[in-house]
Amino acid sequence: MASRKPSAPAYVCTECGWTTAKWVGRCGECQQWGTVVEQAAQTGIVRRVEATAPAAGRQARPITALTSKESPRRSSGVGEFDRVLGGGIVPGAAILLSGEPGVGKSTLLLEVAAAAARAGRRVLYASGEESTAQVRLRAERTGALHDELYLAAETDLGTILGHIDEVSPELVIVDSVQTVASALSDGAAGQPAQVREVAAALIRVAKERDLPIVIVGHVTKDGQVAGPRILEHLVDVVCHFEGDRQTSLRFIRALKNRFGPTDEVGCFEMTGSGIAEVPDPSGLFLSRGAPDPGTCVAIALEGRRAMPVEVQALTIATQAPNPRRIVNGVDSSRVAMVLAVLERRLNIKTSDKDVYVSTVGGVRFTEPAADLAIALAVAGVVLNRAIPRTLAAIGELSLAGEVRPVSQAAQRRAEAARLGYRHVIDDGSPKLEDALHKVRKLFLAPPRPFPVDRLDDVPAF
């Protein structure tokens, strides 16, 4: 009798369940690295799972018998952070904060820890990337020193849990989850199995003790949270801290929030003494001085927050067969479309000019609501006419030259009125030429050119 050939070992992805006959480093389905493990061989023995009686007080009850009273929130002491969280930190919440290296995650959380300590709550800050002396130096610079703020430089999960038992904090910050390892899981810190085990243990402690825990997470090259995807499913809130290193402006957004909205945005500014809140960022994105040709203000929408953004345009005549199109802070494809609409519908020729379009303050304004402001800024610089500071433009342009309405138009107009803009050009003008005709009545006189014959009178630097 021929012996039965044993089946080849199967490998399965722990993230999505994809199977393969041989081991691979990267899952062929979800494209995650290091998640393919060997599957246990099927023995044919099916063990019966015995039912266990629930503990006292944990029995299932009708949903109508449960109260819908919301858990009391506690302010983090940083108003912009509370705005993103939905009003404050919920007891027992697990919050994941991600962001690129150097954007200011540790500085922000150290400020949150210091604010909570000043409010009389004990805080444990567990750092796996810096020593306690290094954290102390940053705390001295930012003014985050307090007796109720405890520091621990640990990379072992068991030791961090021991610190929690010893200190009995009311807020825990772990910086970061990729640097902490558990003895119950194989592999080095940062691997998917370790990240999953560490996160699950911290979240279990948070739920059992009603202890809010903030976990810092690394990001990949494409801006996604590093580690297994299950990490984002386990936590209650996922926040992303973003900003350009060349500017001091920082934004924090909620990508997931079980206790509040996900369309709120917090605004911060990096300073020499740490990070500062910006409750009204409108002044950061507007230039100062007399209006010049080629500038127009639009009302951008960041989450629920509407704020004015100044769009600037500059054109220079060129003989090159392919004129340059340089943009900064706006969508290059939409700028090219706006230039085509201007030349075809309004006979404002830009095909023989280099065009430069930028925003003030380094803010990115890529939504369609910037189309009308870009068109008016380019038209103003070509016609050498300045748009007054009291005018704002809101609208999306179509290829037919129509000004189409944008989302949250009423909120944008209300913000423009609050900031003192007396004229708002929006979808009330169905055609771009009608909108330009309205603006022509408000155009200021062209600025006087600088006398070339007086260049010698300019004082030397």
pLDDT (average), residues 335-348? 92
Could you tell me if 191 and 34 are in contact, meaning their C-beta atoms sit under 8 angstroms apart?
yes
Which of the listed ranges 27-31, 42-46, 178-182, 438-442 does the model predict with the highest average pLDDT?
Answer: 178-182
Chain-centre distance for alpha carbon 265:
8
3 state SS of 325: strand
Both structure tokens of 353: 């000019």
Both structure tokens of 212: 């809010």
Closest CA to 77 of 126, 125, 117: 117
pLDDT digits (tens, 9 = 90+) for 130-160: 999 999 999 999 889 999 999 999 999 999 9
- Classify the phi-psi angles of 384: left when phi > 0, otherwise alpha if psi is within -120 to 50, otherwise beta: left
- Per domain, the residue ranges of the chain are 9-40, 72-279, 283-440
Please identify, in words, the CATH class of the domain defined by 283-440. Answer: alpha beta
Cα(175)–Cα(63) distance, integer angstroms: 38
pTM score, whole prediction = 0.74
Q: Which strands form 423-425's sheet, in the order they lie side by side?
A: 325-328, 353-359, 305-317, 295-302, 391-393, 423-425
Q: Are strands 274-277 and 265-271 parallel, antiparallel or unpaired?
A: antiparallel
Could you tell me if 448 and 361 are in contact, meaning their C-beta atoms sit under 8 angstroms apart?
no
In this predicted structure, the answer to whether residue 357 has a pLDDT above a threshold of 70 is: yes
Q: What's phi and psi for 430, nearest 5 deg?
A: -70, -20
Instruction: Give the start-end residues of each E strand in 219-294.
Output: 237-243, 249-257, 265-271, 274-277
Give the range among 208-212, 252-256, 299-303 with minimum mean pLDDT: 299-303
Crossing angle of helices 132-142 and 105-118, rounded to 10°: 70
Residue 313, CA distances (Å) to 47, 103, 295, 381 in order: 72, 29, 6, 7
In this predicted structure, the answer to whether residue 380 has a pLDDT above a threshold of 80 is: yes
pLDDT digits (tens, 9 = 90+) for 106-124: 999 999 999 999 999 999 9
Could you tell me if 337 and 379 are in contact, meaning their C-beta atoms sit under 8 angstroms apart?
no
Could you tell me if 387 and 444 are in contact, meaning their C-beta atoms sit under 8 angstroms apart?
yes
User: Would the CATH topology of 72-279 be identical to that of 283-440?
Assistant: no
Closest CA to 362 of 324, 310, 296, 294: 310
Give the range among 94-98, 201-205, 272-276 with minimum mean pLDDT: 272-276
| pLDDT (0 to 100) of residue 376 | 92
DSSP for 85-144, please give it.
HTSSBPTT-EEEEEE-TTSSHHHHHHHHHHHHHHTT--EEEEESSS-HHHHHHHHHHHT-
| pLDDT (0 to 100) of residue 216 | 94
Mean residue pLDDT across the chain: 85
Q: What's phi and psi for 191, nearest 5 deg?
A: -75, 155
Closest CA to 173 of 112, 252, 218: 112
Contacts by 27-33, CB closer than 8 A, 24 or more apart: 30/229, 32/192, 32/228, 32/229, 33/192
In this predicted structure, the answer to whether residue 446 has a pLDDT above a threshold of 80 is: no
Both structure tokens of 168: 């009995």
Closest CA to 199 of 223, 220, 170, 228: 228
Over the Cα atoms of the chain, what is R_g?
29
**Which sign, positive or negative, has the C-alpha torsion 208, 214, 218, 222?**
positive
Both structure tokens of 330: 């706006």
Both structure tokens of 335: 């700028």
Both structure tokens of 218: 């690394």
Residue 357, CA distances (Å) to 75, 127, 342, 361, 402 in order: 41, 43, 15, 13, 21
Please name the fold of domain 72-279: Rossmann fold (3.40.50)
| pLDDT (0 to 100) of residue 449 | 56
- First and final CA of the chain: distance in angstroms? 101
Residue 142, CA distances (Å) to 58, 110, 120, 432, 449 in order: 45, 9, 19, 50, 47
pLDDT digits (tens, 9 = 90+) for 12-59: 887 777 888 888 988 888 888 888 888 765 555 555 667 777 777 677
Spatial neighbors of 93 by CB under 8 A, at least 6 apart, are: 206, 212, 213, 236, 237, 258, 259
